[in-house]
Structure 1
Amino acid sequence: MTMDQKDHQIVRALLQDGRLTNQDLAARVNLSPSPCLRRVRLLEERGVIKGYAALVDQKAYGFPLTIFVGIKLDGHGKLNVRQFEERVATIEEILDCFLMTGDIDYLLRVVAPDLEGYERFVRETLHMIPGVASIDTSFAYGVVKQSRIFPMP
């Protein structure tokens, strides 16, 4: 889908506040309500807007630790990769999984309630995934910037 400047403004406004009413959104992007709603529905239908969610403070929710986990597989055959990716997709503690270039195959963003919880996660979950050759863990001890709002093109 080709997006114009107005579509980008709509998406950006919804990223900043997903609870905007159509009336408020239309005013923010300088459209009348009917064309604004048509554009939002088209963005949803075409999969640009995939859904709406609340932003939750992970500490308040009970998962204060953010851990970045580098994974190397012991082989890159289709079965090995498929099994790993299918299993990772089902694990709730893994919030993001990126396929990487370089020294590691995957980079995971994991949350945990505490060090013991992370240790349990590694022993009982990550080690149980077939084909994992190595696990490299880095703990985030602070957040400098975290954004879900894309830049304007």
Structure 2
Amino acid sequence: MAKALDTIDRRILKALVANGRLSNAELAKEVGLSASPCWQRVKRMEDEGIIAGYTTLLDHRALGVGETVMVEVQLEHHDARSLEVLTEAMAKIPEVLEIYLMAGDFDFFLKIAVSGTQGVEEFLREKLFRVPGLRHSKSNFSLRCVKQVAAYVPD
């Protein structure tokens, strides 16, 4: 069973969310610990799965895929196999950034990064619409990202 997070653990998590490139020494200084206990806490949170991994946020606009599109997907059937087929197909597509299984008016919510309306059309026609069992999709274009965080650390 995972150990309950204390104030220092939460400060470590918040510091890492703000800057995942902090060295252990920098992190320890920021949260008021010496290096060894800081490293032990980080290691424990990694082992317990609280820290699931480390990544780099990219500027998609600078990479030529600056349009973020949210795609709502409805399936014909709601059996386990249909859900699995769509999930596996979308997970293999690099421009699909996030996949959510939903409750409500649609079955899946996809977040994709593409290059303009042509990129959206190609994604829909060449990738999404080829998945068997798809009933309907609806695309919503993001005008601008107003907030982007990698994670939320509750107090």
- 1:103 alignment partner AA: D
Query: Which residue matches 1:72?
Result: 74
The list of structure 1 runs, each at least 4 consecutive aligned residues, that deviate by more than 4 angstroms after superposition, is none
- 1:103-139 CA deviation, whole Å, 9 max, x = no partner? 1111110110121111011001000111110010110
Structure 2 residues not aligned, in runs of 5+: none
- 1:57-93 CA deviation, whole Å, 9 max, x = no partner? 1101111100000000000011111111111111111
Aligned positions, number: 153
Q: Kindly state the Cα deviation for residue 30 of structure 1 after the two structures are TM-superposed.
A: 0.9
- 1:96 alignment partner AA: E
- 1:37-68 CA deviation, whole Å, 9 max, x = no partner? 01111111122112222221110111110000
- In 2, Cα distance between the equivalents of 1:11 and 1:116? 39
Q: TM-score, length-normalised on structure 2? A: 0.93
Structure 1 residues not aligned, in runs of 5+: none
SS state of the match for residue 37, structure 1? helix
> Are residues 44 and 151 of structure 1, via their aligned partners in 2, closer, same or farther at CA, if it must alter by over 3 Å?
closer
Query: Which residue matches 2:92?
Result: 90
Pairing partner for 2:142 from 131, 140, 145? 140
Query: Which residue matches 2:60?
Result: 58
Pairing 1:111–2:113 present: yes
CA-based RMSD: 1.2
Pairing 1:81–2:83 present: yes
Q: TM-score, length-normalised on structure 1? A: 0.94
Of stretches 129-138 and 47-56 in structure 1, the one that deviates more from structure 2 is 47-56
